[in-house]
Structure 1
Amino acid sequence: MAGTQRELTLRFLAEPADVNFGGKVHGGAVMKWIDLAAYATAAGWSGKYCITAYAGGIRFVKPIHVGNIVEVTGKVIYTGSTSMHVAIDVKAGDPKDDARQLTTHCIVIMVAVDDEGKPTPIPEWQPTTKEDIHLRDTALRLMEMRKKIGAEMEAHVKPQID
């Protein structure tokens, strides 16, 4: 049911096909996992097909090794009328042990779309705990920063020549 499933975790083993020439999981594989978890989280919340509108602030903190158990957790931290901000944490560790280390973190914005690919309304998420209010406020601050960055990037795409 839409508006009830706010968090989701994908779990799997890092495979040899995921590694780079240095023997560690390459960033592209991690980014794919992030996109999959963001989609599953957003679809679970909205009850609709969702597309990725933005992925940013990706921080690769620690490497992931072949054979590690990988946990990719998505959590809705803000909703607009058709979009969801999903915080993603990637953790990994030896499957023979309970400990998981944070390896990657980012924010992904997903948009719910109808059968024609047009944005469609989603349930609103309201924070209730102090932690959730903090996460929502962080999402709002990041939204403002992205607007400023977008304006700066536009100046590079369309330079003003006097």
Structure 2
Amino acid sequence: MDTPQRSITLRFLAEPQDVNFGGKVHGGAVMKWIDLAAYACSAGWSGRYCVTAYAGGIRFIAPIHVGNLVEVEAKVIHTGNSSMHIAIEVNACDPKSLNKRQTTQCIVIMVAVDESGEKIKVPTWVPETEEDIKQHETAIKLMAMRQTINEEMEIFRDK
């Protein structure tokens, strides 16, 4: 690939097997779609196989119904040495009306690895637009917040 691909949109139709006991699409199905989009985005950026290192800040805003057209938009908002922070937005609509509404959002961190599973360097992403700069700055703030959370979570880890 000559130019890294910064973003991608995957589209799915919500199917009956995706539904939970409440009749809406199961959060686990949405999380699977998020992971697929994060992988496709990070692989497109890095040109490498990538693994999920973190998924957080997931916010389920509105339900998805069977038959809805679901769009999972993923874009790189920060790169480290081998990691890529991917902002995810999930939208859904009735395919007959195409009136999209946001249903879910989160951040996923993917890591590029080589054939041995070792971390490998990824191309650096440089924000250009005002929106890019804001999202990049937010990714950096979230990294600091995750560090604090990791330190607090030590109490729950087996020693």
CA gap of 1:54–1:3, structure 2 versus 1, over 3 A, is: farther
TM-score normalised to structure 1 length: 0.95
Summarize the Cα distance change of 1:97–1:53 in structure 2 as closer, same or farther, 3 Å threshold: same
| Alignment-derived partner of residue 4 in structure 2 | 4
Between the aligned partners of 1:70 and 1:81, the Cα distance in structure 2 is 32
Alpha-carbon shift at residue 155 of structure 1 (Å): 2.7
Tell me the TM-score normalised to structure 2 length. Answer: 0.97
Structure 2 Cα separation of the partners of residues 47 and 128 of structure 1: 21
Could you give the per-residue CA deviations for residues 2-60 of structure 1, whole angstroms, max 9, x where no partner exists?
Answer: 65210000012000000001110000000000000000000000000000000000000
Deviation, 1:97, is 1.2
What percentage of residue pairs aligned between the two structures are identical? Answer: 65
SS of the residue aligned with 1:81?
coil
Return the letter of the residue paired with 1:146: R
Amino acid at match of 1:102: Q
1:128 Cα offset (Å): 0.6
* Runs of 4+ off more than 3 Å: none
The answer for unaligned runs of 5 or more in structure 1 is none
Alignment-derived partner of residue 86 in structure 2:
86
Question: What do residues 46-78 of structure 1 show as CA deviations (whole Å, max 9, x unaligned)?
Answer: 000000000000000000000000000100000
Question: 1:38·1:74 contact (CA, 8 Å) conserved in 2?
Answer: yes
Cα pair 2:91 2:104 within 8 Å, conserved: yes
C-alpha contact 1:3 1:46 (8 A) present in aligned 2: no
Q: Tell me the matched-pair count.
A: 159
5 Å-filtered alignment, 1:66-145, equals 66-145=66-145
After TM superposition, the structure 1 = structure 2 runs for residues 30-49 of structure 1, keeping only pairs within 5 Å, are 30-49=30-49
